[in-house]
Structure 1
Amino acid sequence: MSNPAKSLPNDPAELKAMIAALQAENAQIAAENAKMSATLRAHDQLVQALRLRIAKLQKLAFGKSSEKVEREIEQLELALEDLLVAVAEKDDTPIDEGLDEPVPEGASAPVLRRRPRVSDATLRERRELDPGACCPDCGGDLRVVGEDVSELLDMIAAQMKVIQIARIKKSCRRCERMVQEPAPSRPI
C-alpha cells in the first residue's frame, strides 16, 4: 500500500476543500446506488409477479386446454424475458431465472402472427351480401337484425385497399328464422 500522505497538501484550507469534494462525490454515488437499487427492486417485483402469473396459467393450461391461456403464457414469458434482458444490461452479475429445466441451445421463442396495421386513410370498398327480401323456409318478409363485417387486404397494381364484406343478418317476421349469406372463401 502506498503512502497517500506524501501527495496531500499541508494547507488546512486545501485539505478541507478536498474533504468537501470527496464527501460530495460520496453523496452523489450513494444517491445513484439508492436509485439503482430501487429500480432493481421494482424489476425484481415485476419479475416475481410475472413468474407467479405464468405458473398460475400453466396450471390452468394442464386442466382444460385453452388456446387463449397458451397465448397469454407465451406473451408473459416474452415480457419476462425482456425484463431479464433489461436487468442484465444494467447489472453485470448473472441472473438466476429460477428455472429448473435447461433450455436447448437451438430453441427459440415461438413467433406469434400479428395482423398487419392498416391506416384509416387506406381506401376501403364495401361489398354487401344480402340474403334477399323473403324467408327461404316460409316466404315471409325478412327484417334487418344486424350484420357481420370482416376485412380483407387486397393489393391491386401496387395499390392497397381494404375490402369490407358485410353479411347482413335478417330474421323472418313469421317464423323468426335467422337468415344470412355464407361468408365468401378467402385466399388464405
Structure 2
Amino acid sequence: MRSFSLIKAFLLCCVSVSGSESQTVQVQPGEEINLLCPNISTTPTQTDWLRLVNRTKSSCVSSLYESDGSPSFCHGFQNGEYEMSSNVSTVFLKIKHVDLSDSGLYFCGFYIKKHTVIAKVIELSVQDESDRRINLITVILGSLTVLLTIVIVGLAVKIRKLQTGTRNNRGPDHLNYAALSFQTRRSRTPEVETRVSYTACR
C-alpha cells in the first residue's frame, strides 16, 4: 500500500490521480488474468494501460479510443498475449499466459480535459516456482515441529504421572509386622501356664 502512495505522489507532477483505487493480484505462472479498471469517462476518450517495473522502469502497454475501437499495443506487448477491451462501465486488460516478466504495477488512465487521470493501480505479483517450493517446505517443517512438540510434552506428562504414582504407593512408614506365639507344655504343677508372645517388626 505504501508503494502505491509513493507512485501516486510521483505521478502527480505529470498526471492527475483523482479518487483512484489500488489492488494487489497474485497469480501463478501460466495462468490467465483479467485486470479490471472502472470506466470513469462520461465521453469517448483515449484509455491507456501503463506498467511500472521495479518502481523505476515505466512502459506503455496499450491504448484504446472508445469502447468499440481497436486497441493499439505498445512495443514489447504486440505478441498476442495481451488483449484490451472496454464497455460502458469497465476497461479490461487480459494477459493470456502470465510469466514472471509480467510482474509490476499496472495503471489504468483516461485522457480527460488535457490530463491523464489514473483510475486504478493494480500490483500484479507472479509467484516464482522456487518461492512456492520454499513455502511448501516451510509449512511441512512447521507442522513437523508442532507434532514433535506435542509428542515430547505428552511423554513428559506420562513420565511425571508414573513417578507420582510410584511415590503414592509407598508410605513413609511402610512396616511389616509379624506376630509369633509360643506355648509351652503344661508343667506338673496344675494351674501354671506360661505363654510367651513376641512381636517382631522390620
State the TM-score, normalizing by the size of structure 1. 0.24
Higher normalized helix content (fraction of residues): 1
Higher normalized strand content (fraction of residues): 2
State the TM-score, normalizing by the size of structure 2. 0.23
Query: Larger relative contact order (C-alpha < 8 A, sep ≥ 6)?
Result: 2
